[in-house]
Amino acid sequence: MSLTDVTRPVVLIAEELSPATVEALGPDFEIRHANGADRAELIPAIADVDAILIRSATKVDAEALAAAKKLKVVARAGVGLDNVDVKAATQAGVMVVNAPTSNITSAAELAVALLLASARRVPAANESLKKGEWKRSKYSGVELFEKTVGIVGLGKIGVLVAQRLAAFGMNVIAYDPYVQAGRAAQMGVRLASLDELLAASDFISVHLPKTPETIGLIGDEQLHKVKPEVIIVNAARGGIVDEQALYSALKEGRVAGAGLDVFASEPCTDSPLFEFENVVVTPHLGASTEEAQEKAGIAVAKSVRLALSGELVPDAVNVQGGVIAEDVRPGIALTEKLGRIFTALAGGVAQQLDVEVRGEITQYDVKVLELAALKGVFADVVEDNVSYVNAPLLAAERGLEVRLVTDHDSPEHRNLITLRGTLADGVQVSVSGTLVGVRQSERLVEIDGFDVEIELAAHLAFLTYEDRPGAVGQIGRILGDADVNIAGMQVSRDRKGGKALVALSVDSKIEPAVLDDITGAVQAATARTVDLEA
């Protein structure tokens, strides 16, 4: 079902974004605009929207989230999420997405620009010349060629900076405790301890995320270990380089210069660091290129489309699991449906649930299938919107212990997904499904130990009873009298005259009264319906 088949979701654009953002959203949404930086305007504007797109000026905190009763996704057109309360969003079941790779090229290029500008004293020389001064000797700089640059943080941006500076003929070393030496060596980078990097580098460029562990990482102690001719660049996050410690090092001649795009407190329009002619500063311009803004807008627009279509979003920051392999994706919808069938069969929430994944897809990260199972399990149980974000929280609140079990061996199916759980009274429930053929059709292949083979449909029913002649005919007759057409039927039994299970797919919903008639007619031990189109 496309988004145009129902009331169009409302997307609030709370800051100025690239025109490509709206184009990427397409015609399926009602687009509204507001000034997110104006709190009095934001709070009422967010009340009935499904998604909000922001940059850095809009603060989406607990108060804003509480006011946004229909909100499903917060999309930050950029990398940092300092202005989003991710914990509060998670508790509210709101997905938070960003554009983690949109500005990496722009940020890397700015870091190199700051390094070059600092090395060659470009801003100071520019200002001097515009004042009518010709002071060539005063603004003598240093070359990059054959110098050592220390990259602090060898993530995506750090790698791009390393590649660009290597092209200048620099010796590149890096500090990153989460990167293997072999991977760094493949890029022509030698890993070093932080102390070794500080002592050996002629230039230091910082590319770390801001965390409690990285705040103040380059502080007074570290700045007593560097060469006096070192130039330090920070285009990552303010506070990683201690500004007071840097001021003291510059004042005492222990650091030769600095290039800063970020500050501990922003906006920063007055700092002791501004008094130094050998400090080059810019107002957090790392992502401020037309290309980066366009990439960010398009990326989050695509994420919003996915989120509001009920699909998992790879760039969601508050959803468990990592990048989803293409071979795993078709199993997400199947697993969610198995979760809804499981709950219908169980008649409530289990105390313990195993999500068993078998077959070829187990070579990939299948953590997302555990999430999909939980989303399905709770979809028809709680009144609130169930999402990939809050499903684990719902499980924890209700004491449901969930476990992901994987096994590459799957004798009967290429891939098999089974939900197996135990109820409070000790009763066990299981349901299994698979995908078949080129079209990856969803099939139900097992219910509580009974082998079945039935294609999943919008309306399903399951009955167990003592095997005897005429039961199937009675089921068909009652459904026919109720004008309910049977699309598919599978009968399975443990032995002749023993326990039997009928699995039905029908074209329309089976009303409770009709199900009661069937239950009485065949003396069913259990009778359950599942409506997957809701």
Which one is catalytic: 76, 121, 284, 358?
A: 284
Nearest by Cα to 165 from 211, 233, 250: 233
Which one is catalytic: 237, 358, 420, 443?
A: 237
What the block records as the tokens of 285 is 């311009």
Examine the residue annotation and report whether 237 is marked as an active-site residue of this protein.
Answer: yes
What the block records as the tokens of 174 is 């890096």
65 and 71 Cβ atoms separated by less than 8 Å: yes
The amino acid at 521:
A
Give the number of other Cβ atoms within 10 Å of residue 459's Cβ.
18
CA distance 70 to 51: 8
CA distance 15 to 233: 29
Contacts of 157 (CB under 8 A, 6+ apart): 104, 107, 108, 111, 207, 236
CA distance 467 to 517: 18
Give the number of other Cβ atoms within 10 Å of residue 443's Cβ.
18
Contacts of 301 (CB under 8 A, 6+ apart): 21, 22, 24, 25, 53, 75
Q: Are strands 257-260 and 231-234 parallel, antiparallel or unpaired?
A: parallel
Give the number of other Cβ atoms within 10 Å of residue 471's Cβ.
20
Secondary structure of residue 391 in the 3-state scheme: helix
DSSP state at residue 289: S
CA distance 484 to 466: 24
CA distance 219 to 425: 59
CA distance 317 to 431: 31
- Strand blocks (E) in 38-186: 51-54, 73-76, 95-98, 148-152, 171-175
Give the number of other Cβ atoms within 10 Å of residue 98's Cβ.
23
Give the number of other Cβ atoms within 10 Å of residue 291's Cβ.
13
CA distance 153 to 471: 69
Which one is catalytic: 221, 229, 266, 360?
A: 266
Examine the residue annotation and report whether 109 is marked as an active-site residue of this protein.
Answer: no
Q: Degrees (nearest 5) of the Cα angle 345, 347, 348?
A: 120
- Determine the distance from the C-alpha atom of residue 18 to the mean position of all C-alpha atoms in its chain, rounded to a whole number: 22
The torsion angles phi and psi of 373, rounded to 5 degrees, stand at -60, -45
Q: Are strands 486-493 and 526-531 parallel, antiparallel or unpaired?
A: unpaired
The amino acid at 372:
A
Nearest by Cα to 300 from 4, 8, 106, 29: 29
210 and 235 Cβ atoms separated by less than 8 Å: no
Secondary structure of residue 231 in the 3-state scheme: strand
Length in residues, the chain: 534
Examine the residue annotation and report whether 243 is marked as an active-site residue of this protein.
Answer: no
Catalytic residues: 237, 266, 284
